[in-house]
Chain A
Amino acid sequence: GDSVTQMEGPVTLSEEAFLTINCTYTATGYPSLFWYVQYPGEGLQLLLKATKADDKGSNKGFEATYRKETTSFHLEKGSVQVSDSAVYFCALRIPNTGNQFYFGTGTSLTVIP
């Protein structure tokens, strides 16, 4: 079935370090891929998305490239800040199947000064 596998956390980085959170997926058809972020005590916010192979989504210094050949959508940021501390979720949606999203288990990131 359709699913998303994320890198296990928690991840702790120093400010200005490079971030990579791995995400791979299994899907029928051609999914759209998303990264959502959840700050403490809040709901999920869309961080970035990509709807077809080789698309690169980017927002707030975060980037992720839709790699069909490796079924991956890894999240990267060149220099993290304390304010990036949150839980990050990778998700996919299969077009023409309603609006059901499949989420990974989440990766907790803590950035220390």
Chain B
Amino acid sequence: DAGVTQSPTHLIKTRGQQVTLRCSPISGHKSVSWYQQVLGQGPQFIFQYYEKEERGRGNFPDRFSARQFPNYSSELNVNALLLGDSALYLCASSLQGQGRISFEQYFGPGTRLTVT
């Protein structure tokens, strides 16, 4: 079975531009989460979507937005890019995203975004 896939693998953008990153979850997974991993740091939570609705949001500015499609794939959009947005953006999928049970998150390989 295919794991979590992300596209593109690498991306170079200029300050002020906009970027869209894409994620396809594992088949049957309905929850998608996005994380930002700055070099040398742990992943920081950006968003979680479950059943096409936003279920959680981390401490990121409104320049960051996301959505989930009926097939459970997801896009992360970042507007007005800053140099500090340079990072590895990780997508993770899980069966569900609510409740006491900790459904395992499966991570994709990430998209490396460089802002110049």
- A: residues with CB less than 8 A from B are 4, 6, 32, 34, 36, 41-46, 49, 51, 89, 91, 93, 95-106
Contacts and interface: CB of A to CB of B under 8 A. Distances in A.
Nearest to A45: B107
Interface stretch (B12-20, B61-69, B71-79, B92-100): B92-100
A99 B103 CA distance: 8
Given A46-B106, A91-B42, 13 more contacts: A4-B42, A49-B104, A51-B101, A99-B31, A99-B50, A99-B98, A99-B103, A100-B45, A100-B56, A101-B35, A101-B43, A103-B35, A105-B40
Interface residues of B, number: 33
6 contacts: A6-B42, A32-B102, A43-B108, A51-B101, A99-B96, A106-B41
B98 A96 contact: yes
A45 B58 CA distance: 22
A97 B103 CA distance: 12
Q: Is the interface of A mostly helix, strand, loop or mixed?
A: strand
A98 B56 contact: yes
B94 A99 contact: yes
Contact of A99 (B41, B44, B97, B110): B97
B100 A106 contact: no
